[in-house]
Each structure stands twice: as structure tokens, then as C-alpha cells.
A and B are shown apart, each in its own frame.
Chain A
Amino acid sequence: DTGVSQDPRHKITKRGQNVTFRCDPISEHNRLYWYRQTLGQGPEFLTYFQNEAQLEKSRLLSDRFSAERPKGSFSTLEIQRTEQGDSAMYLCASRLPNGGQNEQFFGPGTRLTVL
């Protein structure tokens, strides 16, 4: 293992459908983050986990967005009833604990297109 992986890399869906994305962090990283990046913008923080605990979810964009990390390893981000405005790149990152100065390592992202 050399980095954070995300699956799928691309997802095309129709408006109203549900989608789920997966993130596998670097194995010894107990913190995991989700971001959204729209065209021409920087990543926007959505939520994060320490092990299996979701410590911040107020930044999730609406109640259609939810995330889980049931066993403290991989995480999933689900968007229900997708809208065209959800089209974006969804990025996952992970880092070691003990201090915000530790680097967040980013995955390649999942690009979502909602038709």
C-alpha cells in the first residue's frame, strides 16, 4: 500500500439516484476526511472521522449526504437523491493522529457527474 485509494474514479448517474463512494486510507492513519471540489474551486471540507467516530458533520452539504466508517478502516460517502449541483470531485484524505501539522494525504478522487 502506498497511498489513499478511492473507488470508483468516475461515476455518472441520473438525477434522483443514490450514489456511494468508497475511500481506503493509508493503513496506520486513524483520521479520515472527505472534501468536495467543484470546478475552479479549492477542496471544501465536508466531514472527518477519528477511527470509527465521526467528529464533525455539520459541514455536510445537506441531509442527503452521509458518511460512515464502521470499523475504523475504510469509509463510505453516500449521496441520496442526487441533484445536478452535486456534480463535483469528491476527495478523501487521511493522516496520522497527534496534531494538525501532520500532513493529510489525498486520494485521486471520485468524479461525479449527475445528468
Chain B
Amino acid sequence: AQSVTQPDIHITVSEGASLELRCNYSYGATPYLFWYVQSPGQGLQLLLKYFSGDTLVQGIKGFEAEFKRSQSSFNLRKPSVHWSDAAEYFCAVGARGGGADGLTFGKGTHLIIQP
């Protein structure tokens, strides 16, 4: 069964500083990989996704993520954070080729932005 680990429960970053949120997955092959953001009172919004091709994926709001097969990782990065980036971030994997079609999420990383 697939699983996702987000090792950092909370991360505090100063506004304007760079950001990296870690995500490690367990899956028998290359999965579909997603990063979602959840703000208070809001639904989950997709930031970016990887399913094949270029391992560096660009997303919305200036975010990017890099798929590293050798490390089973899909870390999210942003060069300069804004106060509006404060939110909960979830990494998720989806299975290829049928079977249960739901996403498996990590526990999330709560991002705090310091002024």
C-alpha cells in the first residue's frame, strides 16, 4: 500500500525567505504526485502535480517541486514566501493503473510566516 510522509509538522519562515517542504512517499512504482494547499475555511487547492516527464514541476503561486525517484521524494519549494502563503500543505500520491482511485495524503505541514 502506498504511504506519504511529511516529516515537518510545523515550519516557520520569514517573509521573503526561501521555503522547502519535504515529502517522501512509498509506492511500488512511480506514482502520481500532488501538492495541495489548505487555508482556514477553504477547500484543498492543487498547487502542482507530477505524472511523467520533466522531474521539475512548476505550479501556481510561484511554487515548484522536484521528483527524485532515487530518494522517493517530491519536495515543494518557493524562492520567496509571502505572508499569504501561510497555510497547511499536503503532499499526496495517486496510484497508476487502476485499483482504488483515491489519493493518499501525508499528515500535512503547517507553514507559519514571520513578518
A33 within 8 A of B: yes
**For this complex, into which size category does the number of interface residues on chain B fall?**
20 to 34
1/0 per residue, CB under 8 A from A, across B8-46: the answer is: 000000000000000000000000101010000111111
> Which chain A residues border B94 with CB–CB below 8 Å?
100-101
Query: Which of A43, A45, A101, A105 contacts B100, CB < 8 Å?
Result: A45
Whether the pair A91, B100 counts as a contact (CB closer than 8 A) is no
Whether the pair B44, A43 counts as a contact (CB closer than 8 A) is yes
Q: For the complex formed, measure the closest distance between the CB of A107 and the CB atoms of chain B, giving whole angstroms.
A: 6
**For this complex, into which size category does the number of interface residues on chain A fall?**
20 to 34
Q: For the complex formed, measure the closest distance between the CB of A59 and the CB atoms of chain B, giving whole angstroms.
A: 7
Q: Known: A42-B92, A43-B90, A108-B41. Contact between A101 and B107, CB under 8 A?
A: no
B115 within 8 A of A: no
Q: A45-B102, A101-B52, A106-B36 are in contact. List 11 more A-B contacts (CB 8 A).
A: A4-B43, A31-B101, A35-B102, A40-B107, A41-B108, A42-B4, A42-B106, A43-B103, A43-B105, A56-B102, A103-B34
A55 within 8 A of B: yes
> Which chain B residues border A108 with CB–CB below 8 Å?
41-43
A90 within 8 A of B: no
Whether the pair A91, B43 counts as a contact (CB closer than 8 A) is yes
> Which chain B residues border A44 with CB–CB below 8 Å?
105
Bound together, the chains give a CA A42 to CA B106 distance in angstroms of: 6
Bound together, the chains give a CA A4 to CA B100 distance in angstroms of: 21
